[in-house]
Amino acid sequence: MKKTIFFIALLITTSVNGQLNNSLLLSGGSNGFGFSLQRQASAKFAFGVSGNSLNASTKLFHYFAGKIIKTKAITNSLQAEAFVKWFPMGQDYFGDYERNRLFFRAGAAFREDPTYFGSTSFWDKFEFGDFVLTDDQIGSVNMKITTNIIQPFAGVGYNIINSYRFAVSAEAGSFYHGTPSMKVTATGILQSNEMNEARLNEIVSTVKFLPYLRLEAGIKF
């Protein structure tokens, strides 16, 4: 508790030279929408915390054997991050931090639910002459991909606007989410696809990094 109070007090305290060294930023990108609190500790370093909410779903349709196949993917998670920023060209000019546009950011993220869900099914009934299969009889193939709860990350960004009161930045990087594991369940005549689980795990296990793009904008205080 004492450490938390100290951190908050440090964030809301400006430097003795009058420069506004704290930032409250809103963020949006491939890992969801959220906010960030950060403290410029020196010309070359800053640190902070952030939180994001990702609630995304998508549907894709394609043809197979003249029939429409529907694929759906869903992920829903809350994420908290702690990070450090390094400004390689940052300099201190009599108490004012300048040339701190380019930065590198690294830290660790905690994902409340690090899973991804997917399902594949036929869009309509399947007909072979007089033989008709309903949606329930055809069934579906369902996939659940699980990654690590703690995910280190690193990225590079640029402060597009870095004025006395306002800040806007863009960043690209990647999370390391470990070795994903996939669980496959299926119903109907598609149930035999469960035998492909081992092969699918071999494929997804090679995807250990998740790229991200982020845009932040906010105020300094």
pTM of the complete model:
0.78
Q: Which residues contact 150 (CB under 8 A, 6 or more apart)?
A: 108, 109, 110, 111
Class of the domain covering 2-220: mainly beta
Instruction: Return the higher-pLDDT residue of 154 and 97.
Output: 154
Instruction: Return the higher-pLDDT residue of 152 and 203.
Output: 152
pLDDT exceeds cutoff 80 at 93: no
Instruction: Return the higher-pLDDT residue of 12 and 71.
Output: 71
pLDDT digits (tens, 9 = 90+) for 171-205: 999 999 999 999 999 888 788 888 889 988 998 99
DSSP of the chain: -HHHHHHHHHHTPPPTTS---EEEEEEEETTEEEEEEEEE-SSSEEEEEEEEEEEEEEEEEEEETTEEEEEEEEEEEEEEEEEEEE-TT-EEETTEEES--EEEEEEEEEES--EEEEEEEESS-EEETTEEE-HHHH-EEEEEEE--SEEEEEEEEEEEEE-SSEEEEEEEEEEE----EEEEEE-GGGGGGGGGHHHHHHHHTT--EEEEEEEEEEEE-
Residue 65: the pLDDT is: 64
Strand bridging mode 96-98 / 91-93: antiparallel
Q: In whole angstroms, give the CA distance from residue 158 to residue 7.
A: 26
Q: Residue 69: pLDDT band by 50, 70, 90 thresholds?
A: confident
Mean pLDDT of 19-47: 92
Q: In whole angstroms, give the CA distance from residue 157 to residue 142.
A: 37
Q: In whole angstroms, give the CA distance from residue 149 to residue 107.
A: 14
Q: In whole angstroms, give the CA distance from residue 216 to residue 192.
A: 46
Domain boundaries, the chain: 2-220
